[in-house]
Structure 1
């Protein structure tokens, strides 16, 4: 079942930066990349337990859009949530879309 929640205006997101949003009881890290693609991951760093992925450094590894955790610098694929430095570790990935200029996230 889909449960889309409006989070913010697309224009309010700065490219190559993340922001945190609380959707119900779920902390989500939203990212807008340089090409205006949107990604939504769980905000908790699985290595430290801190809720900080939205503050990570956005970049790429090869053709993969990524975010590096600000805690210990592990790199996560924004598309899959997979940690590229420690295979077998991942963060949740959520569907994200833009409707009429508003960013919506589905945490269902």
Structure 2
């Protein structure tokens, strides 16, 4: 079983720079992260699409499936749960998820790395 190592919080941008339901790519401690803002939450996933291997998830389509906030890959349209990173279309496929928060109007990301 793998364990997750949690690193420190890194300021990425101001909250008002993120458009709702649009993704942006950010480099956090050498890791490409796809950051998303919905109406009331922030999400951070690896930017690498696990199916194609391309760094494109920040350009995906934000939506929902059965009340679950989702992201559809811009390449092959696999849908991922933004809360967990699990693929809803391909069992066993997932995108690593990171923590995201807003403090004093600044968006911060804390990487989680699998060991």
- Shared fold, TM over 0.5: yes
Choose between structure 1 and 2: higher strand proportion.
Answer: 2
Q: Tell whether 2:90 aligns with 1:95.
A: no
- Find the aligned partners of 2:81 and 2:7 in 1 and give their Cα distance: 24
Alignment correspondent of 1:65: 69
Deviation at residue 87 of structure 1 after TM alignment? 1.0
Alignment correspondent of 1:49: 53
Which structure 2 residues correspond to residues 1-108 of structure 1 after superposition, within 5 A? 2-33=7-38, 35-108=39-112
Instruction: Output the aligned Cα RMSD.
Output: 0.9
- Find the aligned partners of 2:78 and 2:7 in 1 and give their Cα distance: 31
Deviation at residue 2 of structure 1 after TM alignment? 4.0
Q: Which runs of 4+ in 1 moved over 3 A?
A: none
Q: Which runs of 5+ in 1 are unaligned?
A: none
Deviation at residue 24 of structure 1 after TM alignment? 1.6
Q: Which runs of 5+ in 2 are unaligned?
A: 1-5
Deviation at residue 25 of structure 1 after TM alignment? 1.5
- Find the aligned partners of 2:7 and 2:74 in 1 and give their Cα distance: 31
The TM-score with structure 2 as length reference comes to: 0.90
Deviation at residue 55 of structure 1 after TM alignment? 0.2
Aligned residues: 107
- Find the aligned partners of 1:97 and 1:63 in 2 and give their Cα distance: 21
Deviation at residue 58 of structure 1 after TM alignment? 0.3
